[in-house]
Amino acid sequence: MNLRQSFNHSKASPARTAVRGAALLPQCDGSVQWLPDAWLAWQDGRLCEVRAATADDRLVTQTATLYLPGLIDLHCHWPQSHVRGQFGGALLPWLREAIWPAEAAFADPQVAEERAKTFLNEILRAGTVGGLFFGPPNVQASALLLALAPPSFFDGPALMMRHAPAELLTPVAQMLAEMEELPADITKRLAVTPRFAPNVDADGLRACAEAMAKHGWPAQSHVSENLDEIKWVAELFPLAKSYLDVYAEAGLLGPHTVLAHGVHLGPKDWELLAQTGTWLAHCPTSNQALGSGRMPLEQAKAHGVRWVLATDVGAGPLLSQLDCMGALLQVHQGHCSVNACEALAHASAIPGEFLAQFDPDLKGLGQLAIGAPAHIIGVPRPAGDDAESVLQELLQTPRNLLESLPTQVFYAGHALLT
């Protein structure tokens, strides 16, 4: 099955359209509503009917399909997509030896364009219809992705001003100035993206926080993923109370910020994340791949920290959020109670809430709700008679089939699969 490049949101759906099948409706409180025989209708790109089907709903009958909202990924490195899952090792050697050289190639606009197109095709094919993405350390490459991507994609060029190969380094003022000069339809979907504290000094981080406040941009970075990384940050910022404190001191924490990992945070850090409303992207497949450890999800839950599931491609091997949902249940078994319904909500409705802060048109993103964007995926219906059992069965799908599992993908009501 091929993906049709027809997600241009300016084109309204030709007519009111509907599908009928089983449906899972994730909610922002982490629960999921189950409709075994649902009727989903949309017009002009937005859902207008979401309800149990009746005997009169005969327009389309697809009882063998399970419908879900398109999934949302708040932490994924698109310039690593073509090497996803190919390299292992611990974080720092993996970055230096495999990832940074791979990202240097994006200085060539032809390479950047070709890989941006491939990435968009592959991630939409896998059922992810939006998110927050890390670009290469190159503003033009990020702009190129955003020009090609649908409006629910946000992206930031990874800022690196030190401790990396010279061809990847950019002064912070230069990068922010280049970001500000892009066309308005691009700048409104940019994100401030200091790669991680070792690559950006305190002044650079403060400049990022100022740009974030000035432009209303989201911010994204990494925190406390690996013990060697934490040790390095402590050497570089000797006055900081912790790795997270480096970002707090710069003014980068808050409800517009997503930090990936948090595998080795201290008790005060959990309180600080909760107090500031900072979001944590939990990337269980990446943590497994790089041997980073288990993120203590029980701490996030106990402190009321807002967390989402994310792929962290290319350390994460797959673009499919279904893979992260399965890994979530597996890695926390015996440590923290978490179910498949929570896994779905934290890969759809909850990250959708994060992005909706930046664009009112995204309200309802990641939900199957009246008025929400009609981003819907259909997969073969698994056995089961409630949301949890259906999802548990869905997550038994072999990993090598997950990226091509959706049989239907609708973006703003347009069918993308042919």
Binding site for Zn ion (CB under 5 A): 260, 312
**DSSP secondary-structure letter at 163?**
S
Q: Would you give the DSSP letter of residue 369?
A: -
Shortest Cβ contact with Zn ion: which residue? 312
Q: How far is the CB of 260 from Zn ion (least distance, A)?
A: 5
As a whole number of Å, the end-to-end CA separation of the chain is 6
Residue 95 CB, nearest distance to Zn ion (Å)?
Answer: 10
Measured from the CB atom, the residue of 287 and 392 that comes closer to Zn ion is: 287
Q: Are 84 and 314 in contact (CB under 8 A)?
A: yes
Q: Which is nearer to Zn ion, 38 or 145 (CB)?
A: 145
Q: Cβ of residue 81: shortest distance to Zn ion, in angstroms?
A: 12
Compare residues 22 and 300 and give the one whose CB is closer to Zn ion.
300
Please, which residues bridge with residue 21 across strands?
38
Nearer to Zn ion, 259 or 345 (CB): 259
Helix (H) or strand (E) holding 274: helix 267-276
Residue number, 97 or 185, with CB nearest to Zn ion: 97
Q: Shortest approach of Zn ion to residue 90 CB, angstroms?
A: 14
Nearest residue (CB) to Zn ion, 41 versus 260: 260
Between strands 414-415 and 32-43, the pairing is: unpaired
Minimum Å gap between C-beta 289 and Zn ion is 11
Report the nearest approach of Zn ion to the CB of residue 403 (Å).
19
Question: Nearest-5° angle of CA 32, CA 37, CA 39?
Answer: 90
Neighbour count for residue 202 (Cβ, 10 Å) = 15
Q: What is the Cα–Cα distance from 289 to 91, expressed in whole angstroms?
A: 10
Q: Which residue has the tokens 């000035």?
A: 214
Please state the closest distance from residue 74 (CB atom) to Zn ion, in A: 11
Q: Which is nearer to Zn ion, 312 or 342 (CB)?
A: 312
* 302-335 per-residue burial string, b: 16 or more CB within 10 A, e: under 16: ebebbbbbbbbbbbbbbbbbbbbbbbbbebbeee
